[in-house]
């Protein structure tokens, strides 16, 4: 509840009550979230007392802060918990889509109810496009940088399809490509060597399926997580198949995967062309596949960008910095080529 402001000359004072939410969830441990709010609005004087927040400052600044605080309250009313990461993202969202991304007004947009009532949904416009594309097409290419939710959204779609009995199994696969560390030097047998490459898929499933049920699904091979090489020679019917890290496949591997898809199957291929770990003498098959399959009916292509990043706020800044440096290097390389 927000009281009417008191105006003193050109300054305004407003008190906001947090009666409908847990104040500790709002303010954070050691007032960590409150400090983020103060950092976002440095021109305001922001004080907390019990279940109240007092804002003092220019009217336009207070109005902006009230909008953000209202979003946070709505989110907490619906979900009960708000991570510091999401708190930062709500504060940082300056467009009208922030409400849709973080305070879901349509319960039909929820993809999966995870353990302890956690809701999993597409949070950005491009993630929502990815959901729509998967509903309308049997194959979807989702291309974008790290942290844009490609894999997470794909796994949520697969779990939803399994729970709704649209498919009989989920198959999650990745190429086991070395990223600066040789597989041969890792400890353990082949499974123990490969499992770290598949860890992001396990993590996503942990968020969406209770541990005992996930264990059952894995033991019965209803959910299968395997390296890409294990897909050769198979026909995958009645399945939702995800190929993650597709930028680390060559032409033959990606073609092999795409031709495994059988009756009543859906596939999502995710990749980040800026993070190719293949040897220098090998080209990624992802660029070629997205180019030559562009016009085929039933295959959709979704591009995500730094605006879709849902990890720590610094990830978005890091991606922008690398993109800027990459453009600079390309320009310098072009100038050197021209001089020759």
Q: Which CATH number covers residue 29?
A: 3.30.1370.10
Do 12 and 72 share a domain, yes or no? yes
String of DSSP letters for 162-193? HHTTS-SEEEEEE----SSS-GGGS-SSHHHH
102, 123, 147 - which closes a domain: 102
Confidence of residue 340 (pLDDT cuts 50, 70, 90): very low
pLDDT in tens, 234-259: 999 999 999 999 999 999 999 999 99
Q: Is 303 exposed, middle or buried (0-12, 13-18, 19+ CB in 10 A)?
A: middle
Question: What confidence score (pLDDT) does residue 133 get?
Answer: 95
pLDDT for res 311 = 61
pLDDT of residue 338: 43
One domain, residues 97 and 239 = no
80-133 residue pLDDT tens: 777 787 788 788 765 444 545 555 555 567 888 877 667 788 878 899 999 999
Q: How many CA atoms lie within 13 A of 275 on its CB side?
A: 16
For residue 253, give its domain range: 107-309
pLDDT digits (tens, 9 = 90+) for 270-291: 999 988 888 888 889 999 999 9
| Tokens (6 digits) for 41 | 């609005």
216 vs 195: CA distance, rounded Å:
18
What is this structure's pTM? 0.65
């Amino acid at each position: 509840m927000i009281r009417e402001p008191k105006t003193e000359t050109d300054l305004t004072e407003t008190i906001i009550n947090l009666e409908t939410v847990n104040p500790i969830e709002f303010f954070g441990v050691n007032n960590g979230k409150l400090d983020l709010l103060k950092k976002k609005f440095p021109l305001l004087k922001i004080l907390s007392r019990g279940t109240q927040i007092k804002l003092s400052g220019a009217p336009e600044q207070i109005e902006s802060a009230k909008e953000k605080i209202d979003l946070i309250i709505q989110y907490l009313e619906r979900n009960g918990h708000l991570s510091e990461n999401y708190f930062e993202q709500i504060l940082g969202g300056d467009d009208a889509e922030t409400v849709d991304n973080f305070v879901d007004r349509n319960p039909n947009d929820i993809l999966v109810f995870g353990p302890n009532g956690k809701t999993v949904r597409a949070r950005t416009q491009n993630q929502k496009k990815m959901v729509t594309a998967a509903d309308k097409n049997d194959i979807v290419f989702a291309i974008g940088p790290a942290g844009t939710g490609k894999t997470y959204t794909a796994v949520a779609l697969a779990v939803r399809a399994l729970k709704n009995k649209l498919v009989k199994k989920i198959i999650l696969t990745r190429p086991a490509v070395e990223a600066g560390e040789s597989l041969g030097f890792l400890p353990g047998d082949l499974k123990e060597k490969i499992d770290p490459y598949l860890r992001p898929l396990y993590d996503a499933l942990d968020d969406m399926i209770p541990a005992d049920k996930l264990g059952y699904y894995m033991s019965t091979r209803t959910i299968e997580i395997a390296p890409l090489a294990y897909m050769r020679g198979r026909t995958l019917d009645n399945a939702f198949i995800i190929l993650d890290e597709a930028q680390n496949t060559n032409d033959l591997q990606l073609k092999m995967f795409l031709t495994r898809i059988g009756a009543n199957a859906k596939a999502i291929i995710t990749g980040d062309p800026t993070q190719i770990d293949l040897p220098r003498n090998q080209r990624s098959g992802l660029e070629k596949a997205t180019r030559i399959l562009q016009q085929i009916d039933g295959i959709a292509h979704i591009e995500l960008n730094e605006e879709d990043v849902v990890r720590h706020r610094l990830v978005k800044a890091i991606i922008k910095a690398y993109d800027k440096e990459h453009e600079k290097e390309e320009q310098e390389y072009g100038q050197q080529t021209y001089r020759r």
